[in-house]
Amino acid sequence: MNEQPFQIQTVVRVRGLAKTFVLHNRGGAELPVFSGLDMDVAAGECVVLAGPSGCGKSSLMRCLYGNYAPSGGTVELRHGQSWLDLSEASPRQVIAVRRSTIGYVSQFLRVIPRVSTLELVSEPLRRLGFSRALADDRARQLLDRLALPERLWHLPPSTFSGGEQQRVNVARGLIAPRPVLLLDEPTASLDPRNRQTVVDLIGRARDDGAAIIGIFHDAEVRDAVATRSFDLGTCRPQRAPEEMAT
Amino acid sequence: MSDDLLLSVRGAGKRYGSRWACRNVSFDLHPGEVLAVVGESGSGKTTLLKLLSMRLALDEGSVHYAARPDGSGPGGLRDLADLSEARQRMLSRTEWGFVDQNPRDGLRMAVSAGANVAERLMVLGAEHYGRLRDEARDWMGRVELAGDRIDDMPSEFSGGMQQRLQIARNLVTRPRLVFMDEPTSGLDVSVQARLLDLLRSLVDDLGLACVVVTHDLAVARLLAHRMLVMKDGAVVESGLTDRVLDDPHHPYTQLLVSSVLMP
């Protein structure tokens, strides 16, 4: 399954990863999502996660981001000059990894009351130590490229349309150069023109050496950015019939 | 990594009679880190906050704090129980802040807004009246209070304004560690959002470390890097805030997260 010789430029190394949810308030019902998952991703690759809906693509992304705790196995990332296993990293280490190594564009923007679009987009750069002026400048360029009208930049995105929020999310996710990018349907609610812009931005990040792991349901987008696909269908654990019923 | 610890708590416990209000609580806090302590009423979270801030004495365990070296003693990680009372008092007036749930408990209601903000500076020996007023006005501005209300009494302020005044009063000495007990829960929802946003940016700009006790998971999500979940006086789950909220493991945390109503 997706065998690849170990190479120096590998930046994500997943071994025996398993995720099972245990619902204690439902009589301890177990919901196995995947198990025995191995994956290597190298710099400059864009791996698209494949498999039917419900097979655990988003859960895998969340494990890679440290948002879900794996039930088994390891998620190693190249962080600076060394490897870090997210499955046993401390909260501080995960925060440091998210600041400099791994970016995540989720499907939906988490809006913070009263924080302007510009501030939201420039924040990842400021966290890396760039000056406010430089970070704001870069944010403006990116928002302009994504055709978000300038009159919206100083407003919090809570009242924006789905597509506008999505572009803010993409800008925030891509503004800082990070070696690993996780993209969960980044073009879902975009019109063709903006979709093409996002495709260009993703392609550019990939060509600059980012390792990208993404979920793209749009076949055109997938064909434009992916270098290979990874099928989660093969990692699906067997569920007992009574567990299916809960 | 241990050399940049700010607070180190080991096996902290407090007993009322034969009942432990909280027990076996251990964690480390680093500069600039925000920790939320969540749980329902009676879970021991406020008792824990009082233990950490020396408002209550420990019956078990220890709390170490990395004080700045100053006139009243050397710096470095020190057991709070070993500090003299004078040093303890100095710490809680300079390097620490405490934001009470009810601003009336944290403010002096009988003196003006400006005097409330300037009090800590006066304790530290600042005397120049004009400068104290300038500083007080500056901090009122930073918490979004109009500077021309500097001579008004706190009782003339709304609840949300009183809470912002209490925050200014605490931050004026640029503390490194702020304890907050349900800082938003006595306020209207619209006022809560504004206060939360203000807290978020102040914590960020000043690089404050905070321990925030709250029963509101949204407050934890917005402010905290990490969280502790308490039940019956014990920590039942801890970790990165979004991990605990999005992938809760303990039965009680799962119940807590699934009980939140989405508007």
**How near does any CA of chain B get to the CA of A123, in Å?**
11
Mean pLDDT throughout A123-128? Answer: 93
Q: Please write the tens of the pLDDT for every residue from B102-147.
A: 999 999 999 999 999 999 999 888 889 999 999 999 999 999 999 9
What percent of chain A has pLDDT above 90? Answer: 79
Please say whether the beta carbons of B218 and B195 come within 8 A: no
Which three-class secondary structure string do you get for A56-113?
CHHHHHHHHHCCCCCCEEEEEEEECCEEEEHHHCCHHHHHHHHHHCEEEECCCCCCCC
pLDDT at A166 over 50: yes
Distance CA A225, CA A234 (A): 23
Chain A CB within 8 Å of residue B240 CB? yes
- Nearest residue on chain A to B239, alpha-carbon basis: A91
Distance CA A42, CA A49 (A): 15
Q: Provide, as residue numbers in chain B, all residues whose Cβ is less than 8 Å from the Cβ of A24.
A: 250-251, 254-255
pLDDT value of residue B75: 65
**How near does any CA of chain A get to the CA of B86, in Å?**
34
Closest residue to A66, CB basis, from B226, B240, B250: B240
Chain A CB within 8 Å of residue B188 CB? no
CB burial of residue B194 (10 Å; 0-12, 13-18, 19+): middle
pLDDT at A244 over 70: no
pLDDT value of residue A74: 98
Provide the terminal-to-terminal Cα distance of chain B, rounded to the nearest Å: 42
**How near does any CA of chain A get to the CA of B238, in Å?**
10
pLDDT at B233 over 60: yes
Mean pLDDT throughout B92-99? Answer: 93
pLDDT at A90 over 70: yes
**How near does any CA of chain B get to the CA of A224, in Å?**
32
Closest residue to A25, CB basis, from B193, B246, B255: B255
pLDDT value of residue B2: 43
pLDDT value of residue B186: 81
pLDDT at B235 over 90: yes
pLDDT value of residue A237: 64
Q: Choose from A5-14, A46-55, A64-73 the range with maximum mean pLDDT.
A: A64-73
**DSSP tag of B144:** T
pLDDT at A246 over 60: no
pLDDT value of residue A38: 96
Confidence class of residue A8 from pLDDT cuts 50, 70 and 90?
low
The CA–CA distances, whole Å, from A163 to A205, B44, B263 equal 21, 45, 22
Token digits for A7? 């190479």
CATH code at A1-98+217-246: 3.40.50
pLDDT value of residue B192: 85
Mean pLDDT throughout B224-235? Answer: 97
Per DSSP bridges, beta strands A10-23 and B60-67 are unpaired
Distance CA A104, CA B217 (A): 22
Contacts of B216 (CB under 8 A, 6+ apart): B38, B184, B185
Q: Is A221 helix (H, G, I), strand (E, B) or coil?
A: helix
Domain boundary assignment for chain A: 1-98+217-246
Confidence class of residue B31 from pLDDT cuts 50, 70 and 90?
very high
pLDDT at A239 over 80: no
- The residue with greater pLDDT, A64 or B207, is A64
Cβ count near B201 (within 10 Å): 14
Domain boundary assignment for chain B: 107-174
H-helix segments, chain A: 57-65, 91-100, 117-127, 132-145, 162-174, 192-207, 219-225, 241-245
The amino acid present at A238, given as its one-letter code, is Q
Confidence class of residue A243 from pLDDT cuts 50, 70 and 90?
very low
Q: Please write the tens of the pLDDT for every residue from B33-81.
A: 999 999 988 999 999 999 999 999 999 999 999 987 665 556 678 999 9
Q: Please write the tens of the pLDDT for every residue from B160-197.
A: 999 999 999 999 999 999 999 999 888 888 888 888 88
Q: Containing H/E element for B119?
A: helix B113-123
Mean pLDDT of chain A: 90
Backbone φ and ψ for B5, nearest 5 degrees, come out as -70, 145
Instruction: Return the residue in A58, A93, A94 with the most chain B beta carbons within 10 A, the one to mutate for interface testing.
Output: A94
Q: Provide, as residue numbers in chain B, all residues whose Cβ is less than 8 Å from the Cβ of A112.
A: 197, 200, 222
- The residue with greater pLDDT, A145 or B125, is A145
Length of chain B equals 263
Within 13 Å and on the Cβ side, how many CA atoms surround A11?
A: 23
- Nearest residue on chain A to B1, alpha-carbon basis: A92
